Homo-oligomer: A and B are copies of this chain.
Amino acid sequence: MTSQHETNEAPFRHRFVVNDPRIAYLDGNSLGRLPQATKDRIQQVVSQEWGEDLIGSWNRSWLPIAKRIGDKIASLIGASPGEVMVCDSTSINLYKAAWALLQRRGNRKTIVTDAANFPTDLYILDGLRQQLGSDLRLEPLVLDQSDHSQVNRALADAINDDTALVCLSHVNYKTGYAFDLPGVTELAHGKEAPILWDLSHSVGAIPLDLGNAQVDAAVGCTYKYLNGGPGAPAFIMIRGDLIRELSNPIPGWFGAANPFQFGAIYEPASGIERFAIGTPPILSLAAIEPGVDLTCEAGMMMLRQRGWGLMQQFFQLYDERLQSLGFRLETPRHQDSAGSHVSLSHKDAWQITQDLIHTYRVVPDFRGPDIIRFGITPLYTLASEVEQAAFAMEASVTQGTFRSHPKQARGVT
């Protein structure tokens, strides 16, 4: 199904299942495509390792997976081997990392975050604020996310000697704004505050160098740009010198130094494994690896170069065809302050989204109240898909086809 042209343009596209090439799938930042190799891997895990080898597969195959994939993800984000582990969900990992860093807060009382952060991050931080004592405050900053200078100035004003933790999503899930990760990390460290980054919307799309920035901790998602599969376990990264200083609020047996000695007293593992909790869901865990391998094979520099080329193409189509039709570009145009998705707002965004999907075979995401979000996944997104999306939006509005779709019902997304 993949033409020679597509292969030249997106050299990894043929490594993914593309069932219907007429569909422009621009939602890889919500659920990445299925790598071809993953089908075989799952078949092997289910039929051979579970079905035939049964319990013996824990020692032979399964126990090393979480850390092995963690090490591969470490290479994608500039962390060191042994600093990253795959386990649980992003929400749970954020809870663990934030809880652990907040244990060292001393008299500091403020958690600095972004008011436009992904909801689960705000919920978890607010939950910890309530749990850890009435003296803690959550300070969600309202930031004008257009360029680094303004955002960094606002953060510099907010981070001070009272800051117990800075917790931000590197790329905003809605606007696509990418924080100045090294700069903001330096701001936090300048006030001796630890920083925790949620990399869900940047890992696999943007080169990262957490080691160089000396980031304290990070979490992130594997089912978006890493193509790990629906709801695949997330990762947690803790800077090497901090691992032994931090503890896990949920001391389960898989975080113990010797889980299979069944000791009555919890002794945490000395390495990043101490942030594991219970038995990992092996089918979903094993499914992550082929997508991560493809990302490693492609290399983050090549991926960002391709991805940014597609982003620029989108911006140009916006200028030429969409700006005059009531669309507004919400994503920054500068490579150092943008992630890998393009967000456009429009007063009829909900109906246009429905129209794109059902009339024009274009799959974006709607994010209320008025945003249409297009994910650029450099491993497989084609220039023709970007074009199809822009042309479809133009046609939907100029021909008024979006009006055939009902307005958004309350509570539906």
Contacts and interface: CB of A to CB of B under 8 A. Distances in A.
Contacts of A281: 229-233, 281, 283-285
Given A88-B88, A91-B278, A250-B92, A262 B119 contact: yes
A127 to B, nearest CB: 4
Interface residues of A, number: 79
A367 interface: yes
Contacts of A140: 264
Contact of A46 (B38, B47, B50, B90): B38
B250 A127 contact: yes
Contacts of A363: 54-55
A64 interface: no
Copies of the protein in its oligomer? 2
* Most central of A47, A91, A123, A260 by chain B CB within 10 Å: A123
Given A31-B54, A115-B264, A234-B278, A124 B251 contact: yes
A67 interface: no
A120 B253 contact: yes
A347 to B, nearest CB: 19
B30 A50 contact: no
A175 to B, nearest CB: 13
B42 A27 contact: no
Given A50-B229, A52-B17, A278 B123 contact: no
Given A33-B54, A231-B281, 5 more contacts: A39-B47, A91-B253, A120-B253, A122-B264, A261-B411
